[in-house]
A and B are shown apart, each in its own frame.
Chain A
Amino acid sequence: MSDLISMTLAEARDAIRAKKLSSRELTGAFVTAIEAARPLNAFITEAGEQALAAADAADKRIAAGTMGDLEGLPLAIKDLFCTKGVRTTAASKILGNFIPPYESTVTQNLWDAGAVMLGKTNLDEFAMGSSNETSHFGPVFNPWRASNSNANLVPGGSSGGSSAAVAADLCLAATGTDTGGSIRQPAAITGRVGLKPTYGRCSRFGIVAFASSLDQAGPMTKTVRDAAIMLKTMASVDPKDSTSMDVPVPDYEKLLEGGIKGLRIGIPKEYRVEGAAAEVDALWTKGADWLKAQGAEIVEVSLPHTKYALPTYYIVAPAEASSNLARYDGVKFGYRAPKARDITDLYERSRGEGFGAEVQRRILIGTYVLSAGYYDAYYSKAQKLRTLIKRDFEQAFEKCDVLLTPSTPGPAFAVGAKTSDPLEMYLQDVFTVTVNLAGLPGISVPAGLTSNGLPLGLQLIGKAFDEATLLRAALAVETAADFKHSPAKWWSV
Chain B
Amino acid sequence: MSVDKDTVRRIAKLARLAVPETRLEPMAGELNGIFQWVEMLGEVNVEGVPAMTSVVAQKLKWREDVVTDGGQAAAVTANAPDGEDNFFVVPKVVE
A: residues with CB less than 8 A from B are 97-99, 101, 198-200, 213-214, 239, 242-243, 245-246, 305, 307-308, 311-312, 314-315, 322, 326, 329-336, 340-349, 351-353, 355, 360-361, 363-365, 367-368, 371, 374, 377-378, 380-388, 390, 422-423, 437-439, 464
Contact = CB atoms under 8 A, between A and B. Distances in A.
B66 interface: no
B11 A371 contact: yes
Contacts of B58: 200, 243, 245
A361 B31 contact: yes
B71 interface: no
Interface in B36-62: 37-38, 40-41, 44, 46, 49-56, 58, 60-61
Contacts of A377: 1
A387 B52 contact: yes
A343 B17 contact: no
Contact of B51 (A101, A346, A380): A380
Contacts of B75: 101
Interface of B: 1, 3, 7-8, 11-12, 14-20, 27, 30-31, 33-34, 37-38, 40-41, 44, 46, 49-56, 58, 60-61, 63, 72, 75-82, 88, 90-93
A332 B93 contact: no
A364 B44 contact: no
Contacts of A347: 16
A364 B52 contact: no
A335 B81 CA distance: 7
A353 B27 CA distance: 16
B75 to A, nearest CB: 4
19 contacts: A101-B78, A239-B63, A314-B37, A315-B38, A315-B41, A329-B16, A331-B90, A332-B80, A342-B92, A346-B90, A346-B91, A348-B16, A348-B18, A352-B17, A352-B18, A365-B34, A367-B11, A387-B51, A390-B55
A438 B57 CA distance: 11
A364 B55 contact: no
A387 B17 CA distance: 32
B56 A364 contact: no
Contacts of B60: 242
